Structure 1
């Protein structure tokens, strides 16, 4: 019987190495290794033998626990007036949106006419995440008064992240988060406890730092909420992650996969079989850190590769920011293109047909495991310092993030290309970025801002 293996016999990694060394003609094999910003080292090639060194079953099981095929296309909508915002939401549903990230951070929550704002929307079918600034309980109370059914979506309020930027204490916002959680315990698919990596990402963090500091933030939040009387069995199903996804294609895929493993590892320390097997919920967002105001249409391409990393990495919801989000108000064109990126990845690339499509990749499985271990080590280091808030107050976290950011800047100065900024730049007017809020501790940065 014909066998394909007879044409292509197995080759060991040692044999591959000997062949590579011969082809290098005296150049050392180590010269092909590449360091990553995370302090890891990328080998010239990987084989099936590398998988044998990994806890592969654990890695892959973490990706599949509680997961379903596909992701939710969740465009961001900024609140203006109840009528205009409602029109935008209802129109978005007819254009391919599965849910919405509704930005209420500049709205007066107590003055909103919620019936008019949500007219025609049923939050048991269409998930909406309400992005607020320390007013979780107020939003939950308003929703419970007009929506007598189980809700989907959640409230995106990150008290710890906001305190890291502003220098204020998160206690008041955490009280609101605790009450919002109590009010919506009957809606298990409405997540009121949000922990995100964006504050670290936008300060220049490496993938290892994002993962570690996000876990540290989870512990700080859980400590506050359990002290408020909530149990871990109540908290875990109500918890979700918001993760910014950057332009380093394979690293970002591995970052999301690593987060699922780290979440499971963290939960084992709470000693509950119910908790241990609970899956994570990851709401991915394309990065503004890598967006530019020079040759801005290139941001469309950045958003596309970032979105691909997010969905291959296994995100549950995806928000693609419009290409002009960092320098202007998104318009009909930019919001349509952003929304359609997610649709293209489903309808034409069919990336929603496979669960954990990177499973078995020699490189990605290895990189995932390396990120898990490097992030866990940093997480433990911060916990030994008293947790994220104390490590930030002591200067450790800001110092580490500043080093990471400066390393990225130096890489550009030393030849790393920012397309449309340092090379392939169109001779056009450079648009002004929207001013960021003044931050006392962790800054909001963009990599290209020093080169525009």
Structure 2
């Protein structure tokens, strides 16, 4: 039997040698023509090698991996009535969901039959996140009346969302959050503080802007909680980061990995060294910005790609929106399909078996680092302008995001394909959704709109 020395048969090849071979194969076409620039302004090389990865700060990058593989499949359910919603909650948990995001916005919480709503559910085992509308403390008080044990899940309350979206000041919402956090310190797995990038993403922000403005939002909120008497150890361990995941597959993977790097860097400024041992909790949801009403079943493809990017990027919880979310009230069928996307990624693709599957990819490791550095630079620039609220009032956030959105529109106009919208569009026999009425925006503040990229082409 012949012994093969693979090192002699396949000697190492440097990046310069690869480049030389590519130039030869191009037969006169310039090598630079293979490079492209991402929407974030990052130059993307035609190929990457170990030399690119070896130049990165690998010791710091180990934080992108999180603590353990896998994620929670979280279904979003909108409240209807106490009885109907209880049935929907129990059905979702019995059909593969690990947790539920219960949308309570617009609900009169004082008149709700909470015992009936949560009948048969044990929040110490089945995590439920409650999306409230400024009444976080009121919700916690109600739960405490009949749930004496430690809770799992949390509160999805975004005090700056209405400010950035409609110009409504956070006001009492910040005080409600502080008190809800204080009252649930004995339930470490019940996270009361949510910081999300959705308002930026749905206005058309690129990945750098989403990450940077999310950090600015965190500083603004944490300043308020510190003023309310909470310590960094108390509010940092009660925080959920919720991000939208779009269709740019590799960029979105790198975005979630960069978020962990940036978060560790930000937390380091709060003089809480023990927090480095705490597991950051990242909730990801598929994007409505990239969904279409034309040929809407293509939203299933978008949602699957986005879900894969989210779990490979390392999310701890995943919500897949039903394909008809942007034009209809999702029903049992679309809800089941959405939930099953996450389940299939676990049970058939086995993506929950590996911790940080993107680790070692020359391209993704490099892109993660580049996104983190560009986002940190923008974050610091906003802080130099006085922070999130002052930069918002000065129009900086809207102006920066508007540039990104217009660039995305131009890319589609100039040939970028939106499957089922600008190409491969067919009549699937679905009713054309009614046009969405524009929100009433105040003239006094440069608020952020909610958009869909496909809307201009449908």
TM over 0.5: yes
Q: Which moved more, 1:372-381 or 1:144-153?
A: 144-153
Task: Give, in angstroms, the shift of residue 290 of structure 1.
Answer: 0.3
- 8 Å Cα contact 2:155/2:191 also seen in 1: yes
Q: Which moved more, 1:381-390 or 1:434-443?
A: 434-443
Counterpart for residue 65 of structure 2: 64
Counterpart for residue 320 of structure 1: 320
- 8 Å Cα contact 1:153/1:190 also seen in 2: yes
Counterpart for residue 34 of structure 1: 36
| Matched ranges for 1:41-52 at <5 A | 41-52=43-54
State how far apart, in whole Å, the 2-side matches of 1:435 and 1:211 are. Answer: 29
- 8 Å Cα contact 2:256/2:310 also seen in 1: yes
Task: Give, in angstroms, the shift of residue 274 of structure 1.
Answer: 1.1
- 8 Å Cα contact 1:294/1:431 also seen in 2: no
Task: Give, in angstroms, the shift of residue 392 of structure 1.
Answer: 0.3
Structure 2 regions of 5+ residues with no counterpart? none
Cα gap change, 1:297 to 1:192, in 2 (>3 Å): same
Counterpart for residue 451 of structure 1: 457
Provide, for residues 200-219 of structure 1, a one-character-per-residue CA deviation record: whole Å limited to 9, x for no partner: 00000000000000000000
The alignment partner of 2:121 has SS state of coil
| Number of corresponding residues | 450
Counterpart for residue 153 of structure 1: 153
The alignment partner of 1:70 has SS state of coil
The alignment partner of 2:119 has SS state of coil
The alignment partner of 2:322 has SS state of coil
- 8 Å Cα contact 1:158/1:194 also seen in 2: yes
The alignment partner of 2:160 has SS state of helix
Provide, for residues 69-111 of structure 1, a one-character-per-residue CA deviation record: whole Å limited to 9, x for no partner: 2100001000000000000111111110000000000211111
Provide, for residues 394-444 of structure 1, a one-character-per-residue CA deviation record: whole Å limited to 9, x for no partner: 011111111111111111111111111011100456433555644441100
State how far apart, in whole Å, the 1-side matches of 2:407 and 2:218 are. Answer: 27
- 8 Å Cα contact 1:262/1:376 also seen in 2: yes
Task: Give, in angstroms, the shift of residue 5 of structure 1.
Answer: 2.7
Counterpart for residue 25 of structure 2: 23
Counterpart for residue 7 of structure 1: 9
- 8 Å Cα contact 1:123/1:151 also seen in 2: yes
Counterpart for residue 373 of structure 1: 373
| Matched ranges for 1:145-294 at <5 A | 145-294=145-294
Task: Give, in angstroms, the shift of residue 172 of structure 1.
Answer: 1.1
State how far apart, in whole Å, the 1-side matches of 2:5 and 2:383 are. Answer: 55
- 8 Å Cα contact 1:328/1:433 also seen in 2: no
Structure 1 regions of 5+ residues with no counterpart? none
Task: Give, in angstroms, the shift of residue 276 of structure 1.
Answer: 3.5
- 8 Å Cα contact 2:56/2:369 also seen in 1: yes
Task: Give, in angstroms, the shift of residue 6 of structure 1.
Answer: 3.1
Task: Give, in angstroms, the shift of residue 182 of structure 1.
Answer: 0.6
- 8 Å Cα contact 2:65/2:314 also seen in 1: no
The alignment partner of 1:352 has SS state of helix
State how far apart, in whole Å, the 1-side matches of 2:122 and 2:366 are. Answer: 43
State how far apart, in whole Å, the 2-side matches of 1:435 and 1:194 are. Answer: 28
The alignment partner of 1:195 has SS state of strand
Counterpart for residue 392 of structure 1: 392
- 8 Å Cα contact 2:48/2:363 also seen in 1: yes
The alignment partner of 2:356 has SS state of coil
The alignment partner of 1:159 has SS state of coil
State how far apart, in whole Å, the 2-side matches of 1:4 and 1:105 are. Answer: 62
Normalised by the size of structure 2, how large is the TM-score? Answer: 0.96
Q: Which moved more, 1:267-276 or 1:90-99?
A: 267-276
Task: Give, in angstroms, the shift of residue 56 of structure 1.
Answer: 1.7
The alignment partner of 1:220 has SS state of helix
- 8 Å Cα contact 1:254/1:371 also seen in 2: yes
Cα gap change, 1:395 to 1:48, in 2 (>3 Å): same
The alignment partner of 2:283 has SS state of strand
Counterpart for residue 361 of structure 1: 361
Provide, for residues 364-421 of structure 1, a one-character-per-residue CA deviation record: whole Å limited to 9, x for no partner: 0000000000000000000001101110000111111111111111111111111110
- 8 Å Cα contact 1:436/1:444 also seen in 2: no
The alignment partner of 1:74 has SS state of strand
Counterpart for residue 136 of structure 2: 136
State how far apart, in whole Å, the 2-side matches of 1:211 and 1:436 are. Answer: 27
Counterpart for residue 86 of structure 1: 86
Counterpart for residue 296 of structure 2: 296
Task: Give, in angstroms, the shift of residue 270 of structure 1.
Answer: 1.3
Task: Give, in angstroms, the shift of residue 289 of structure 1.
Answer: 0.3
Counterpart for residue 448 of structure 2: 442
